């Protein structure tokens, strides 16, 4: 069976930073370390950290007073930050810097008097955190149809910001619809969507052009992983989002297709290796990689941690 790996794939710099934050906190301060929400949307990563002594909670009232708590890569609302201070919790903020950039953009637009639109998935942890970071009313939408249903007056000063993990193409269509309805609207270029998300979307398009089937390794809860699966499916070939090798179905490979493999930004390389091992039990593998950019981005760890030497 011929296997072609996408490049880049898997962990991005924001996820690396978040996971290292938990690991180093455990090394420096000892267990338990509390983490509000799953640090990233990948069960294997969460389970691995749990075995090392991380305790995952949904709300801060589950954290003992004066304990150490880590905020996930998705970011949190200001009310959560305030609650942590009131309960005298020691906080390490693992919010991805690119998510923090969106928070800053939103606050700046609000301070300048714009009505804000957030292009994102309602209920997603990143969207909830962003809404809670902006001291103004924000309209959340995700589709062109929702743009057409907006009731802002034509001359309303409007600005938009975006969730970092969306499909670049879908977001570009929504922005274009906003500009058609409200030519005065301002906002960041869609290139401001997370560099890692963009790179992985470009890579899966290239991959889909030269394989018969695409496997995306990632969580069903991971927005960027779901998007990769959808993009591959748009090419007209079978595409499957799987958590690990156990999710494979032998009948997918009866015709010995050329299989493309990529992974969401919160998926560790070990899970790709797990999928390859499962495929190798079906047939001998011939593995190659597509050319693609080597990501060199690194984010500094939160204050309060000593970086590994």
Per-position b or e across 135-168, b if 16+ CB within 10 A of its CB: eeebebbbebeebeeeeeeeeeebbbbbbbbbbb
Residue 234 known to be catalytic: no
In degrees and rounded to multiples of 5, residue 115 shows phi and psi of -80, 135
Neighbouring C-beta atoms of residue 100, cutoff 10 Å: 16
Torsion of CA 267, 271, 275, 277, to 10 degrees: 160
Q: Report the alpha-carbon distance of residue 146 to residue 263 in Å, rounded.
A: 30
Contact present, 115 and 159 (Cβ < 8 Å): yes
Domains 2-11+195-289 and 98-192 share a fold: yes
Task: State the number of CA atoms in the 13 A half-sphere of 258 facing the CB.
Answer: 10
What pLDDT, on the 0 to 100 scale, is given for residue 1?
A: 95
In degrees and rounded to multiples of 5, residue 52 shows phi and psi of -85, -10
164 is in an annotated binding site: yes
Q: Catalytic residue among 126, 234, 251, 294, which? A: 126
Sign of CA dihedral 168, 138, 77, 57: negative
What share of the chain in percent tops pLDDT 70? 98
Give the pLDDT confidence of 115-135 residue by residue, as tens digits. Answer: 999 999 999 999 999 999 999
Q: Is the peptide bond before 32 cis (omega within 30 degrees of 0)?
A: yes
What pLDDT, on the 0 to 100 scale, is given for residue 192?
A: 65
What pLDDT, on the 0 to 100 scale, is given for residue 267?
A: 95
190 is in an annotated binding site: no
41 is in an annotated binding site: yes
Sequence spans of domains, the chain:
2-11+195-289, 13-96, 98-192
What fold is seen in the domain 98-192?
Cobalt-precorrin-4 Transmethylase; domain 1 (3.40.1010)
Q: Report the alpha-carbon distance of residue 240 to residue 226 in Å, rounded.
A: 9
What share of the chain in percent tops pLDDT 90? 88
What pLDDT, on the 0 to 100 scale, is given for residue 193?
A: 76
What pLDDT, on the 0 to 100 scale, is given for residue 308?
A: 44
88 is in an annotated binding site: no
Whole-number Cα distances in Å, 53 to 27, 33, 43? 10, 7, 15
In CATH terms, 13-96 corresponds, of 3.40.50.2000, 3.40.50.11270, 3.40.50.720, 3.30.565.10, to: 3.40.50.11270
104 is in an annotated binding site: no
Which is it for strands 33-36 and 54-57: parallel, antiparallel or unpaired? parallel
Tokens of 69: 């708590």
80-87 long-range contacts, Cβ below 8 Å, gap at least 24? 80/36, 80/132, 84/60, 87/60, 87/63
What fold is seen in the domain 2-11+195-289?
Cobalt-precorrin-4 Transmethylase; domain 1 (3.40.1010)
What pLDDT, on the 0 to 100 scale, is given for residue 122?
A: 95
210 is in an annotated binding site: no
Enumerate residue ranges in the chain where pLDDT < 50: 307-309
219 is in an annotated binding site: no
Give the pLDDT confidence of 8-64 residue by residue, as tens digits. Answer: 999 999 999 999 999 999 999 999 999 999 999 899 999 999 999 999 999 999 999
Q: Report the alpha-carbon distance of residue 200 to residue 231 in Å, rounded.
A: 10
Least Cα distance to 73 among 32, 105, 37, 124 occurs for 37
What pLDDT, on the 0 to 100 scale, is given for residue 309?
A: 38
**Residue that the structure tokens 């996408």 belong to:** 6
222 is in an annotated binding site: yes
């Amino acid at each position: 069976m011929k296997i072609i790996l996408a490049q880049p794939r898997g962990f991005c710099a924001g996820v690396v930073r978040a996971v290292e934050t938990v690991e180093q906190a455990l090394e420096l301060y000892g267990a338990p370390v509390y983490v509000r929400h799953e640090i990233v949307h990948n069960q294997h990563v969460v389970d691995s950290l749990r075995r090392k002594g991380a305790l995952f909670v949904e709300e801060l009232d589950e954290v003992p007073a004066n304990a150490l708590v880590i905020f996930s890569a998705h970011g949190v609302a200001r009310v959560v930050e305030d609650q942590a201070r009131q309960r005298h919790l020691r906080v390490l903020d693992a919010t991805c810097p690119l998510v923090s950039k969106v928070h800053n953009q939103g606050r700046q637009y609000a301070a300048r008097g714009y009505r804000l639109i957030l292009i994102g998935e309602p209920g997603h942890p990143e969207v909830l955190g962003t809404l809670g970071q902006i001291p103004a009313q924000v309209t959340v939408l995700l589709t062109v149809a929702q743009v057409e249903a907006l009731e802002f007056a034509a001359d309303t000063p409007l600005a938009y910001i975006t969730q970092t993990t969306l499909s670049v193409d879908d977001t570009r269509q929504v922005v274009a619809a906003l500009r058609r309805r409200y030519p005065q609207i301002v906002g960041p270029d869609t290139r401001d969507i997370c560099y890692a998300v963009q790179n992985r979307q470009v890579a899966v398009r290239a991959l889909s052009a030269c394989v018969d089937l695409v496997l995306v390794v990632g969580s069903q809860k991971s927005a960027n992983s779901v998007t990769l699966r959808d993009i591959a499916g748009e090419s007209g070939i079978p595409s499957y989002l799987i958590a690990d090798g156990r999710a494979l179905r032998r009948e997918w490979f009866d015709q010995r297709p050329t299989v493309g493999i990529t992974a969401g930004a919160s998926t560790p390389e070990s899970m790709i290796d797990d999928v390859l091992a499962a495929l190798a039990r079906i047939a001998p593998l011939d593995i190659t990689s597509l050319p693609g950019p080597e990501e060199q981005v690194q984010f500094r760890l939160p204050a309060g941690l000593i970086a590994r030497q």
